[in-house]
Structure 1
Amino acid sequence: MARAKKLPKSLPFETTLMVRDCCLCLHMQRAARNLARIFDEALRPFDLTNGQFSLLMSLNRPQPAAMKDVASLLAMDRTTLTAALKPLERRELVVIEQDPNDGRSRRLRLTPAGEQLLARAFPVWQQTHTEIERPFAQGEVDRLRRHLRSLS
């Protein structure tokens, strides 16, 4: 039987610095939190968070969306999606309906109030996005999007 490799009792501080500088997950989380704060602030006049805006936008489609499809698009489990839908449903921005073809499934759709709120919030989202992209050289943001999609 092979001997187990002896683990160090602690890591040197240089390792911490290396992880701080190299960890993709850390840098993605920091960037995501910062972007979330920026969009949360921009969408505050509409009483929306960036997550709620994304959820409403994911429902802006010709036919009601299957809950599983929205969960997949937003990279959420169904329990998290259900919790995220509750305040939007209370505000009568979203309706959750039984799927007519499958009684176990749910369909999600925007209400007219949800459509109107999304239409009013979109120009603010668009302007905020433009401001965020401004410092980047031409093509860099599209390249970043491609890389992010490959990781998701």
Structure 2
Amino acid sequence: MFDDLKRKITTILDQKETSTDLRLQQVCELLRNTVPHYDWVGFYFKNGNKNELKLGPYAGQPTEHTIIPFGKGICGQVAISNENFVVPDVKAQDNYIACSLTVKSEIVVPLFLKGENIGQIDIDSNTLNAFSHEDERFLEFVNREVAKTLH
């Protein structure tokens, strides 16, 4: 499944005549509609010079968490750690920000541009322990491809 998705993502991101936001939106929708355990897919980006993340394109239920301070929640922790964060059970996390009562697990993978963490892809699942190493590697690929379109 992921190999086919990689080709589709590359095709979407290679559409230079389409705005970056629209391409990222298409990637979010493709992932949410194709991967059964991806119930919410979105990008957060560093908000200018502020120590906070701002919600970018996403697919799924609307969220009130459009601004997340660095250090707060899983996304805010990844903004500081620069490392992937896989949460098998969100109820077991002290510093978790609930976007929806149905979310049971989450994965956040940082997005680097020229060595700087400029954002991340955030995926929520309504399934416990939904994410594998394969998901991590795949989302790292997605972020590398996204970074190429942002440079």
- With the length of structure 1 as denominator, give the TM-score of the two structures: 0.30
More helix as a share of residues: 1
The structure with higher relative contact order (CA 8 Å, sep 6+) is: 2
Higher Rg: 1
Q: Structure 1 or 2: larger strand share?
A: 2
Which TM-score applies when normalising by structure 2? 0.30
